[in-house]
Structure 1
Amino acid sequence: MSILQSIKKVAEQVTGAARPDSRQAADLVRPRKANEFRFGDDGLVPNHPSWPLVVYRGAVRLPEDFDPAAVIEELFSANGWGNSWRNGIYDYVHYHSRIHEVLGVARGTAKVRFGGKKGRTLALKAGDVAVLPAGTGHQRISASDDFLVVGAYPPSGTYDECTTTADHVKAVVTIPKVGRPRKDPVYGSKGPLLAAWKKD
């Protein structure tokens, strides 16, 4: 998180300025279909063996009255996805083997490759949300100067960052053990994510 974003976040938390409450954030959600993308193991990035990357296009309205990152943070938090951060997306391929991750675009645009070298590059813009099951490779290919993402995690799982073939050996064992979240980070307990990520 940049110093400016850190100062802004602290100021918002102290004053409440430009930050919606959970009801206001929920009112900014648009119904969207779950775009699903499945990726195979490429030898470096395992991806998830059963669950797809889910992308909601334009899922969140971001009016000027509110800080866009605060809207997304509040929405994710209300649905049980916490430990949020604000930043960009790393420009190298990485994945998390012990936790799922949600990425909500607060500002700008970017091209992000998901799934590793045999994956798919998607153009993302403000209001888009991507929900990555454990193991899903991701890498920023390009981005606008104002690109800002809010990331968050479900309550169960442990953050890790995997980037090497040595990580792959352990990751293929741990990824399928990461439990399904109880709520969709955007749509809550009845969200499309829960249908896309079926229990085994």
Structure 2
Amino acid sequence: MDRRDFNVMLAGMGLTMGHGRIRKASASTARVEAFTLHSNDWVPNNSRLPVIVYRNALEAGSGRESVYEDLFNRNGWPSRWRNGVYSFHHYHSLGHEVLGFSNGSARLMLGGPSGRAVDVRGGDIALLPAGTGHCNLGSDADFTVIGAYPPEQDFDILRAAPTPEQLARIQSLPFPMTDPVQGKGGALSREWHPS
């Protein structure tokens, strides 16, 4: 087995080579950006909980999807799918969502039409509170996303203003117990505060 195949195998187990020894993949050194998005046209966003973007959280590359899934699962956010980000504005009322960008790059619009454009690339991870609008404005062919949600939360795809019931659900979703990227004591515990 050559070195590249060995590293891919380690990545699949959530491990990496560091200074000649095997260690667990870690996202604790990621550079964290947080910003709040307020209601924008028909997109409710979440003025109580900011979006959190973890820059260079994990090593990027083809075949690294399971490393992101393992990280999310280990931190109590069951991974649910691998795909991309839809090219239309939408949001979710059934759960908070973490998006791990394992490969490629994209320009996303967060917050709905006329929201905030954010460039992401392999290695970045975005945590979107329920209600946050998101849309893929353009991505390369390698763009790969892993999606996860807190336990007992799910996703729906909403493309119109929320009903009063959907808005109430967004505001009353259970607060996540751990940061999906950095675990207990991570950026989520510093940036998200239950009301």
- Residue type of the alignment partner of 1:143: S
Cα RMSD between the aligned structures? 2.1
Partner residue in 2 for 1:199: 194
- 1:20 corresponds in structure 2 to 12
- CA–CA separation in structure 2 for the residues paired with 1:140 and 1:168: 24
Deviations 1:81-119 (A, max 9, x none): 114211010000111112000001011000000011131
Q: Name the CA shift for 1:101/1:193 in 2 (closer, same or farther; >3 Å).
A: same
Query: Which position in structure 2 is the counterpart of 1:158?
Result: 154
- Partner residue in 2 for 1:113: 109
Cα distance in 2 between the residues matched to 1:51 and 1:154? 15
Aligned length in residues? 182
Q: 2:55 aligns with which of 54, 57, 71?
A: 57
Contact 1:30 1:58 in 2 (8 A): no
- Is 1:127 equivalent to 2:123 in the alignment? yes
SS of equivalent residue, structure 1 residue 136: coil
Q: Secondary structure of 2:69's partner?
A: helix
Q: What is residue 140 of structure 2 aligned with on the other side? A: 144
Query: How far apart are the structure 1 equivalents of 2:193 and 2:24?
Result: 25
Asked if the contact 1:46/1:168 (under 8 Å) is kept, the reply is: no
User: With structure 2 as the length reference, what TM-score do the two structures score?
Assistant: 0.85
Structure with greater helix percent: 1
Q: CA deviation at 1:39?
A: 1.1
Shift of 1:194: 1.5
Residue type of the alignment partner of 1:140: N
Preserved contact between residue 108 and residue 119 of structure 2 (Cα < 8 Å): yes
Describe the shift of the 1:173–1:190 C-alpha distance in structure 2 as closer, same or farther (beyond 3 A): same
When normalised by structure 1's length, the TM-score is 0.83
Determine which structure has the larger strand proportion and give its number: 2
Which of 22-31 and 153-162 deviates more? 22-31
2:179 pairs with one of 154, 179, 184: 184
Structure 1's 116 and 182: CA in aligned 2 closer, same or farther, altered over 3 A?
Answer: same
What SS does the aligned partner of 2:67 have? helix
- Residue type at the aligned position of 1:187: Q
